Amino acid sequence: MKLYARMPATRKRELYDMVIGRGVEQEVGALLYGLVRVLKPNVCVETGTLVGDSAEWIGRALRDNGFGHLTTCDIDPERIEPAMKRLEGLPVSVIEKSGIETLSSFRMMDFVHIDSGGVDCRINEVMSLDRHNISPGGIVCWHDAIFGFDLMYESFASARDWPHLLVPSVVGLAVFARPE
């Protein structure tokens, strides 16, 4: 597996439709939407709900696909109810649970988006994912892939021979596909 020699440079924040503290850049949200529309996953899991930006993009794609469900989690109880209201009517469940607990509660996942906690939390979540719980052709992606989380990329990519792409947005998005 060939790894990126160095992480791609991030792009200027002013080029993106982004509100600090709100979640993913809207362009990254649209990419998540497109991935879900194209890949047609059934079981989707997201760690780190925050205000539900990326969960809304994924949930809309699942709704437009006509099937599939997203479970998104957060450990902050104050985020759960507002996210539930925001995501009402979409095939999305919002739960108060840690990412690692949520990920381990699924036997097989088709699409996983990691966007919770700090580096240590995310590394544990990402490294818990492998052939035993990601379906063939399944996607594992995470936000903040470039900005402060490059260790995740090197650890995950070095341990798996999976095709991948690093999207150099403001903070980056890593997208790995489990080979079929």
Query: Beta-carbon neighbour count of residue 11 at 10 Å?
Result: 17
What tokens were used for 147? 């900005």
Q: What is the pTM of this model?
A: 0.92
Nearest 5°: phi and psi at 116? Answer: -120, 155
pLDDT in tens, 20-54: 666 788 889 999 999 999 999 999 999 999 999 99
Locate tokens 């036997």: which residue?
107
Q: Give the residue from 180, 109, 176 showing the smallest Cα distance to 142.
A: 176
pLDDT in tens, 109-135: 999 999 998 888 999 999 999 999 999
In a domain, 162, yes or no: yes
Structural domains of the chain, count? 1
SS3 state at 43: strand
C-alpha 99/C-alpha 91 separation (Å) is 19
In a domain, 94, yes or no: yes
pLDDT in tens, 87-106: 999 999 999 999 999 999 99
Domain that holds residue 59: 24-177
CATH of residue 131's domain is 3.40.50.150
